[in-house]
A and B are shown apart, each in its own frame.
Chain A
Amino acid sequence: MIEVSELGRTFTVSRKAGRFKRTRAEVVAVGGVSFEVAADETVGYIGPNGAGKSTTIKMLTGILVPTSGRVRVCGLDPSRQRAELARRIGVVFGQRSQLWWDLPLRESFELLRHIYRVPAGDHAKRLEECTELLGLQAFLDTPVRQLSLGQRMRGEVTAALLHGPELLVLDEPTIGLDLDSKERLREFLAELNTSRGTTLLLTTHDLDDIERLCRRMMVIDHGRVLADGPLAELRDEVTPERLLVVDFERPCDELTGLPGVQTVKVEANGLRQQLSFRRDAVTAATLITMIAERSPVHDVSVIEPDIDDVVRQLYHR
């Protein structure tokens, strides 16, 4: 679906140097990234602000012309075959609107039907589906300017899907939404991927989006891909330690001599102890059995590293 090799984009900026003099400098927004996305994958593209996420997305959709490297989306060259590609992909920008501000939502959809030359039957069917799944009925006749952000976002997603795209690209789709709206949108997108097989590529700062939606995560910073793979694999690789919290029946000395285990914290005279252990060295079950042999255990819990920790580790790598 997407093939990218050594894709790069630099911007020339001129900076003030003295009263009249200006110097020109090259800023690398994306510095040679390579990846492939197969049909019906769900990929989360993440990175800190200014990492080059949006620039990549814009090169994939034909909005920006790359300065180096090669891109193919649906087998097309995005910047040269922009209009043709536009009919086959859907794009949602969380921070821009493609709807008509002063017109009712329904009229925006009708205009898009003509822009994309969608047969009336297909259009009606898709609109009905989105209306039902996203709950648009209540505000279809409201001018877009009067919609809440959550309502508008649902409208934007519908607008991007009415021509039945094979690939849906979303740039920060959940930005600014409340928890409820986020959840609803994620559910809809997940359903879209499983039932229609639509490929999803999304950028986000909300790692819950990734956890809920994306089977694969790509991390980019300073214009380079830092990591690429299933979330679980990346977690194992970057933060192999898990945390075991043990509550004992009675105070117990600090546990030592367990294989691959380090004590993190001893609380309440040893009544509660936190241990970190490597998942590749010992399983949680074995470890708990070993501990229980030393002193009666009241309760245990295993804490997996937070996705935020994983990402923080990746950014600082």
Chain B
Amino acid sequence: MVDLAVYGRLARAQVRSQLSYRGSFAINLVAQALAQGSDLIVILIVFGRVSSLGGFDFHAVLLFYALSGLSFGLADLSVGSIERLPSYIRTGTFDIVLMRPLGTLTQLFVSDFQLRRIGRALTAFGTLVYVLSTSDIHWTPASALLLVLTPLAGATIFGSIFVAANSVSFWLIDAQELANSVTYGGSYLTAYPVSVFGRALRILLAYVVPGAFVAYYPALTLLDHPDPLGAPTWLGWLDTPVALLTATVAGLIWRTAVRHYRGTGS
């Protein structure tokens, strides 16, 4: 708990630093919100032409999009600064992280904490509020709990993917683009119903990188909508255990990776 307070302090210090450049902060916040919104426009255009996508109506697809976007936004906000890792390693700044009496991962999470990243989460959250207010979901305490857990589990899954993908930079110098393709690519895939993808990608999303658990399965459970591919409706409840498992695996990858840190010449 004591450590949590320290990380909070570090994150706030980071925000204070950014506020010393107020103009760019505001522009960035808007840019992030618009970036997330552009995906929404794609969905609107598609549904201007078709009435269902992979067996789902506009409403359901919007729910996938909102849950996935909110998960990604929360992960990006809390864990996103790990994308600086490749440059920390290349320049040797990672030395400083290792010389402090705190965990390496958590230090990285707050090292470049950017409040402007909340823009993404806000757009997705707005969409979610809209979808839910116009939906005919039958609300029970259980489904309300699932609704709260889903973005948290989804953010954990995305965060784990961020960590695992960026761990590669301990072996490969400047693996930034590789890591980005996995993280941002992952966000794109999870926004659509799994049923629109081919078999290979479906297996990858459901079992290897558990992207299908970010939005697809929990949304099916919420909507009480049968999976066109035949998965049971209760599968959405597994999102939290799956998220914890993913986080454990990512943690192990990270621990191995840090021991491979080689530093720079001086």
Interface residues of B (CB under 8 A from A): 2, 5-6, 9-10, 13, 16-18, 20, 92-93, 95-96, 98-103, 259, 261-263, 265-266
Say yes or no for A17: interface residue by CB 8 A criterion: no
> Which of A63, A86, A96, A172 contacts B101 (CB under 8 A)?
A86
Say yes or no for A84: interface residue by CB 8 A criterion: yes
Q: How many whole Å from A45's CB to the nearest CB in chain B?
A: 14
Q: How many whole Å from B6's CB to the nearest CB in chain A?
A: 5
A118 to B71, CA, bound (A): 37
Across the interface, do A86 and B9 meet the contact criterion of CB distance under 8 Å? no
**B101: A residues at CB distance < 8 A:** 83-84, 86-87, 115-116
Smallest CB gap from A54: residue in B = B266
**B95: A residues at CB distance < 8 A:** 58, 63, 93, 96
The list of the 7 closest CB pairs from A to B, nearest first, reads A102-B17, A86-B101, A83-B101, A63-B98, A87-B101, A91-B99, A98-B96
**B263: A residues at CB distance < 8 A:** 54-55, 58, 63-64
Smallest CB gap from B264: residue in A = A54
**A172: B residues at CB distance < 8 A:** 266
A117 to B3, CA, bound (A): 9
A62 to B17, CA, bound (A): 29
Across the interface, do B93 and A96 meet the contact criterion of CB distance under 8 Å? yes
Interface residues of A (CB under 8 A from B): 11, 50, 54-55, 58, 61-65, 79, 82-84, 86-87, 91, 93, 95-98, 100-103, 107, 111, 114-117, 143, 171-172
**A115: B residues at CB distance < 8 A:** 6, 10, 100-102
**A84: B residues at CB distance < 8 A:** 101
Smallest CB gap from A203: residue in B = B266
* Interface CB pairs A-B, < 8 A, 21: A50-B265, A54-B266, A61-B98, A63-B261, A64-B261, A64-B263, A91-B99, A96-B96, A98-B99, A102-B16, A102-B20, A107-B16, A111-B13, A114-B5, A115-B6, A115-B100, A115-B101, A115-B102, A117-B2, A171-B266, A172-B266
Q: How many whole Å from A8's CB to the nearest CB in chain B?
A: 14
A297 to B2, CA, bound (A): 76
> Which of B9, B93, B262 contacts A111 (CB under 8 A)?
B9
A55 to B5, CA, bound (A): 33
A93-B95, A103-B16 known; A64 and B262 CB under 8 Å?
A: yes
A101 to B17, CA, bound (A): 8
A286 to B20, CA, bound (A): 71
**B100: A residues at CB distance < 8 A:** 83, 86, 98, 115
Q: How many whole Å from A204's CB to the nearest CB in chain B?
A: 13
A180 to B242, CA, bound (A): 60
Smallest CB gap from A175: residue in B = B266
A115 to B13, CA, bound (A): 13
Q: How many whole Å from B41's CB to the nearest CB in chain A?
A: 36
A84 to B99, CA, bound (A): 10
Smallest CB gap from B259: residue in A = A65
**A101: B residues at CB distance < 8 A:** 17
Across the interface, do B98 and A54 meet the contact criterion of CB distance under 8 Å? no
A55 to B98, CA, bound (A): 14
Q: How many whole Å from A33's CB to the nearest CB in chain B?
A: 17
Smallest CB gap from B260: residue in A = A65
Residue in A82, A101, A103, A171 with the greatest tally of chain B CB atoms within 10 Å: A82
A58 to B265, CA, bound (A): 11
Across the interface, do A86 and B16 meet the contact criterion of CB distance under 8 Å? no
**B93: A residues at CB distance < 8 A:** 96
A102 to B261, CA, bound (A): 27
**A91: B residues at CB distance < 8 A:** 99
**A107: B residues at CB distance < 8 A:** 13, 16
A313 to B262, CA, bound (A): 32
Q: How many whole Å from B116's CB to the nearest CB in chain A?
A: 15
